[in-house]
Amino acid sequence: MADWEALRIADGAMAELGRKIIDRLSIAYLATVTADGWPRVHPVCPFFHGTGIYVGLIETSPKCRDLLRDGRYVLHALPGPSDAEFWLRGRARAVDDGERAELARAEHGAIPDTSRVFELLIATAHTAVYRPGENDLPAPTRRRWAAALVERAADA
């Protein structure tokens, strides 16, 4: 798993597009895994701080319980310019109280005391950028970045 900064260093253009799409509306869809293994999808407001991308979730919410129990997530941003897509897949890490307090100060109190904050650690990042294709139908150009590739390179 990697943080946002690792993605930015490895593929700056992908990270820039992703951040532009997320910042545009400040809303994305977070998919989690329920206790019985089914997917659950909720809108969230991801935010960036330092080297990470985070979400604040009400402690009693089902998605918060899902992440505390299983951590796996997919974050899919709403479409960007020309329906460009950006999504992340990985594991969420619950931040400790000290880090949460720092994030709350940085976000000017926008994180309620009743929220848990999670850093979205990244296994893979994906983009799809659409351009006119055959018969003027949208044709996607897809890109994928994997943290495992960076980790293997660092081990070599």
Is it the case that residue 35 has pLDDT exceeding 60?
yes
Is it the case that residue 155 has pLDDT exceeding 60?
no
Identify the pLDDT of residue 154.
Answer: 52
Q: How many domains does the chain have?
A: 1
The pLDDT of 128-149, averaged and rounded, is: 87
Q: How confident is the model at residue 103 (pLDDT cuts 50, 70, 90)?
A: confident
Identify the pLDDT of residue 128.
Answer: 93
| CATH for 74 | 2.30.110.10
For residues 96 and 63, what is the distance between their CA atoms, to the nearest angstrom? 18
Query: What is the rounded (10 degree) CA torsion for 35, 36, 40, 45?
Result: 10
For residues 17 and 85, what is the distance between their CA atoms, to the nearest angstrom? 9
Identify the pLDDT of residue 149.
Answer: 67
Question: Running DSSP on this structure, what letter comes out for residue 41?
Answer: E
Residue 142 lies in domain: 4-155
**Average pLDDT value over all residues in the chain:** 89
